[in-house]
Amino acid sequence: MDKSLLLQLLQGTGQEHLLDDYDTLTEEEKSVLSHQIAHSGLDFSLLNVALRESLAALDGGDTTKGMGGQPSTVEPPSRESLFNVAAVKRANPEAISRLTRLGFDAIAKGQVAVLLLAGGSGTRLGISTPKGLFTCELLREKKSLFQFHCEKVLRVQRLCVEGALPRAKAPIEETEASEEKRGAATGEPVIPVLIMISEENAEATRRFFAENDWFGLKATQVIFFVQGMLPCYDAASGRILMASPFQMCVSPGGNGGVYSSLSRAPLPPHAGDGGRFPETPRTDPAGSDESVLDRLRRVGVRYVQIFSVDNLLAKVADPLFYGYAIDTNAQVVVKTTPKTSPEERVGVFARVNGEWGVVEYTELGEARAIAREPHTGELRFSCANIACHVCSLAFLAYASERAASSVLYHAARKRIPTRNGPVMGVKLEAFIFDMFRYCKASRAVEAAKETRKAAAEEGNPPGEDGFRVMQVDRGGEFAPIKNSDAATTDTPTTAARLLLKLHTRWVEELLSGVDRTALGGEGGGKGRVITPEELERALGILREGKRWVEVSPLVSYQGEGLAPYVEYLVERLVYGSEDIVLVDESTNGKFGAAKI
């Protein structure tokens, strides 16, 4: 691009220095710099405002203050907006079943998707590969995080076909009857798997999926798109730092970049496939490639579950999660677990001046952190953010539009390598929860549409502000892997132990429910039949923590489907020598099935 045109783009932004060496650059170098300035979607004037405001918030130390530094009103989720899964299951288990059926029905109709936030590197884990490639050495299967999550999707798809739970009669209005939109309703549904990657790990991630045959998924089912990059700044001058005479210093813009990234075209699954997405891309009238959002809209997706790739226990494609979002007509549903203590270093969901978001532990303040409900004694601000959300496609589209003009960023002072050596600079990040404040506005837009009116007439009342909170079991859904085993928390070892504890609990509950009177008889298996004494010995081993059980995601999603493995489990627990008994598809029915 001509230098004069680039200067026009930078005029008045204070970033004209980006072109100081332009006349000395080669044509190839000019092309690189021109692309960064003109074709990366950066609004330099807007980013200047974001830099000033985020630095003011950082230096002030409390982003819960309003305009002029005045204290804001900070409120925890109300009883009406909080859905406690365990409490509802105890009081009204049919309600959980109904919502789960609702979710399965949406899955069968092709109306849901999942989105992995996988732009991070494995630096803190001591690896040079993308974080999604990481494997827990303590576990027997040695599967990568990507494989774990993809196999959970496969299991949910199979549960839909197997009829593990009956479907609802008419949970959502029918969309256009096509094979693509209905999720191949006559066969196994196909849940789109979106993966947000970074420029740094894009090639390695796509190659990993291709080399591993998409972990059982269809190649066209996996949609990669790139997280945006943001310039790094000198805090004193506000000028963008330069990595070289023809490159700005840039860094990933945070998971909040998902909104603007969804409005762009996806990448091909692997760079070696000819540079195109496997399916013939659609184009808009202007001729540009179809965006990820447009693609989802075209195939009939209405809700997207978003989660972090480093959560080993994430319930991917959770039917209950989808069902609750559908039932409440929510724009956003977030999963939460109660804080373990007032001191736990975790952000909490709250409303600041009536707008939903996350208040980080550094911003909450001691008074709020220790405040308790007078009637229950529970912490008032206890809804910990575990980075797992369901968003309606309507909300994602609305947030994508707002993100284009947003100055909601968070500043962090970091040492940044530049053309003149490492310097202390500022990186900007946007967080996915920053846009949750627009739930009410997004719901209002949807409420004006005929589809929302029809849904209300069917008995699904619109959410008060489009935002809902689902409280789940931490031990069953949250095992983050953020640090190496040199740390004490959120390590591969702590995550693996949480998974083993959960799976062992599944098996203990399974064995406890076996009909003792049916043991020791003729049996219908391929081998011998276990005795009541062996069953009790196996239970004792589990209860005393002498052995653990690891269950493949392909075998069970949440403890279901383990009955065919009872006799195998008892035999390995009682007579085996391994510390961890592995249950995978190869051991199905190895010793016959016990009566439950």
Torsion angle of C-alpha atoms 453, 454, 458, 459, degrees rounded to 10? -10
- Give the H or E element holding residue 55: helix 44-60
The three-state secondary structure class of 282 is coil
DSSP state of 23: G
CA-closest candidate to residue 224, choices 188, 273, 187? 273
Distances (CA, A) of 251 to 233, 255, 417, 425: 11, 12, 11, 12
Q: Is 119 helix (H, G, I), strand (E, B) or coil?
A: coil
Residues 432, 148: Cα–Cα separation, whole Å: 23
- Is-contact 102 114, C-beta < 8 A? no
* Alpha-carbon torsion (57, 436, 113, 289), positive or negative: negative
The torsion angles phi and psi of 317, rounded to 5 degrees, stand at: 55, 45
Going from the C-alpha of 322 to that of each of 96, 221, 327, 363, 407, the distances in angstroms are 12, 19, 9, 31, 31
In one letter, which amino acid is 164? A
Q: Exposure pattern of 541-561 as b/e (b: 16+ CB <10 Å)?
A: bbeeeebbbbbbbbbbbbeeb
C-beta pairs of 19-27 under 8 Å, 24+ apart in sequence: 20/245, 21/245, 21/246, 24/245, 25/245, 25/246
Report d(CA 327, CA 455) in Å as an integer: 10
Cβ-contact 400, 293 below 8 angstroms: yes
Question: Which pLDDT score is estimated for 457?
Answer: 53
For the CA atoms of 577, 580, 586, 588, the dihedral, rounded to the nearest 10 degrees, stands at 90
CA 56: distance to chain centroid? Answer: 30
CB 549 within 8 A of CB 542: yes
Alpha carbon distance 565, 562 (integer Å): 5
pLDDT in the model for residue 173: 36
- Among 584, 558, 561, 80, CA closest to 319: 558
What CATH number does domain 89-324+393-454 carry, 1.20.1250.20, 3.90.550.10, 3.30.70.100, 1.10.3720.10? Answer: 3.90.550.10
pLDDT computed for residue 270 by the predictor: 54
Distance CA 311, CA 319 (A): 18
Residue 68: predicted pLDDT: 43
Q: Give the residues across from 289 on adjacent strands.
A: 283
In terms of Cα–Cα distance, which of 294, 237, 170 is closest to 15? 237
- Regarding beta strands 247-248 and 383-392, do their DSSP bridges make them parallel or antiparallel, or are they unpaired? unpaired
pTM for this predicted structure: 0.89
**What is the rounded CA–CA span in Å between residue 366 and residue 49?**
30
DSSP 426-445: EEEE--GGGGGGGHHHHHHH
Which pLDDT tens digits describe the chain residue by residue (596 residues)? 789 999 999 999 999 999 999 999 999 999 999 999 998 889 999 999 999 999 998 887 655 554 444 457 999 998 878 999 999 999 999 999 999 999 999 999 999 999 999 998 778 888 889 999 999 999 999 999 999 999 999 999 999 988 654 443 333 333 333 444 444 444 789 999 999 999 989 999 999 999 999 999 999 999 999 998 999 999 999 999 999 999 999 999 999 999 999 999 898 765 444 333 334 333 343 345 799 999 999 999 999 999 999 999 999 999 999 999 999 999 999 999 999 999 999 999 999 999 999 999 888 989 999 999 998 899 999 999 999 999 999 999 999 999 999 999 999 999 999 999 999 999 999 999 999 999 999 988 887 774 555 555 554 554 568 999 999 999 999 999 999 999 999 999 999 999 999 999 999 999 999 988 878 654 444 455 789 999 999 999 999 999 999 999 999 999 999 999 999 999 999 999 999 999 999 886 555 444 44
**11 CB contacts (<8 Å, ≥6 apart)?**
none
| DSSP SS3 for 446 | helix
| Token pair for 410 | 């968070």
Confidence (pLDDT) at 178 = 42
Cα first-last separation, the chain: 72
Least Cα distance to 511 among 569, 554, 550 occurs for 569
Q: What are the residue boundaries of the structural domains of the chain, listed by start? A: 1-39, 89-324+393-454, 494-587
Strand partners, 130: 121
Query: How many residues make up the chain in this entry?
Result: 596
Q: What confidence tens digit (pLDDT) does each residue in 147-197 have? A: 999 999 999 999 998 865 444 333 333 333 344 444 444 478 999 999 999
